[in-house]
């Protein structure tokens, strides 16, 4: 039997490229860069597992000799004392109660806005889109005073619903931009065909646009979750004593003066505060890249 010399691309008969010195140097450089960026996380984890005595006597990069999770329990439950201080637990749940509805609502509104601006254009739609884009470049500090007045008018000051409202309003500009640039890549013929068949605004969105939107929904979910969870300014300004997010609690913990700086507790608290965003990127990071590139064809 004759041997097929035209093996499929990527098949077992394909010869691998030789490992040249240049490729080896590139791999070494990538490993060094990865280690450089992972070093702070390693130090945070190892420090959080050490006792204070071991932190004082051991090297910063040394692994814990007697690992303990006592600092994690203290950071979660009784990290510090004071009016604006305490364990991260209640503030962590405050952040979840604030972030999840704000992400879902701002993403849904942005999806509808992007759908309108991409396929249901009207007189002045381009000007409206340009005005919305201005919102992407407005600093947080500019909206503090008018937003505080608005929250006071609606009796939402110092409440979790007030923080949700603030993040929804501030996030709509970004989600609209993402969805509009993605939806312009959807063929106009599909929307026109649905209109000819008698489908209205919402039916066209539900049957045609929405099923194609998973990549960009993932982009907006990740973007909004990261921005809202990590926000400090809105949380410290608009969050009351019972509505402060975890970022404010973390700041209070680190800056609380108790005579002794508990580095292990501070590191454990920082990891706890950052854990949700790390998990989101680990579990859905590939969808973030796919969604961004999917909307980069035109528009």
- Half-sphere CA count of 128, side-chain side, radius 13 A: 14
Q: Is 124 left (phi over 0), alpha (psi -120 to 50) or beta?
A: left
Q: Which residues of 215-242 are buried (b: 16+ CB within 10 A; e: fewer)?
A: bbbbbbbbbbbbbbbbbeebbebbbeee
- Chain center to CA of 94: 17
Identify the DSSP state of 287: H
Smallest CA-to-CA distance from 225 within 89, 91, 101, 40 is with 101
In angstroms, the CA 227 to CA 239 distance is 16
Q: For residue 79, give the 3-state DSSP assignment.
A: coil
Domain 89-294, CATH among 3.40.50.720, 1.10.3720.10, 3.40.1010.20, 3.40.109.10? 1.10.3720.10
Amino acid 3: pLDDT: 46
In angstroms, the CA 184 to CA 201 distance is 16
Amino acid 84: pLDDT: 45
Q: In a structure prediction context, what are the per-residue pLDDT tens digits for the chain, which is 299 residues long? A: 444 444 445 555 556 667 788 888 999 999 999 999 999 999 999 999 988 888 888 888 888 888 888 889 888 885 444 444 557 888 999 999 999 999 999 999 999 999 998 888 788 888 888 888 887 888 878 888 888 898 888 888 888 999 999 999 989 999 998 999 888 888 888 888 888 888 888 898 888 889 888 888 988 999 999 999 998 889 888 887 788 899 998 888 877 756 677 888 889 999 999 999 988 888 877 777 666 666 554 44
Amino acid 296: pLDDT: 52
Smallest CA-to-CA distance from 234 within 176, 175, 174, 164 is with 164
Kindly list the domain boundaries of the chain, sorted by start residue: 21-68, 89-294
């Amino acid at each position: 039997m004759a041997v097929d010399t035209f093996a499929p691309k990527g098949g077992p008969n394909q010869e691998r490229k030789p490992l040249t010195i240049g490729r080896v140097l590139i791999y070494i450089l990538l490993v060094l860069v990865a280690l450089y960026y992972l070093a702070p996380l390693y130090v945070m984890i190892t420090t959080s597992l050490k006792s204070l005595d071991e932190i004082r006597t051991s090297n910063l990069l040394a692994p814990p000799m007697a690992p303990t999770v006592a600092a994690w329990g203290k950071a979660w439950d009784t990290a510090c004392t004071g009016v604006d201080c305490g364990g991260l637990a209640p503030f962590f749940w405050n952040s979840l109660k604030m972030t999840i509805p704000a992400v879902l609502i701002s993403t849904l509104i942005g999806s509808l806005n992007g759908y309108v601006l991409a396929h249901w254009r009207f007189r002045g739609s381009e000007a409206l889109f340009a005005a919305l884009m201005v919102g992407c470049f407005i600093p947080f500090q500019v909206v503090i005073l008018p937003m505080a007045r608005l929250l006071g008018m609606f009796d939402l000051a110092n409440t979790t619903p007030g923080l949700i409202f603030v993040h929804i309003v501030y996030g709509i500009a970004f989600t609209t931009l993402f969805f509009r640039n993605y939806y312009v890549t959807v063929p106009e013929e599909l929307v026109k065909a649905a209109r000819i068949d008698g489908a209205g605004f919402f039916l066209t969105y539900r049957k045609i646009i929405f099923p194609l939107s998973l990549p960009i929904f993932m982009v907006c979910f990740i973007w909004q979750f990261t921005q809202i969870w990590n926000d400090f300014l809105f949380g410290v300004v608009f969050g009351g004593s019972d509505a402060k997010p975890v970022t404010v609690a973390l700041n209070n913990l680190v800056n609380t003066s108790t005579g002794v700086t508990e580095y292990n507790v501070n590191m454990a608290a920082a990891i706890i505060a950052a854990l949700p965003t790390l998990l989101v990127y680990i579990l859905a990071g590939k969808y973030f890249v796919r969604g961004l590139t999917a909307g980069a064809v035109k528009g």
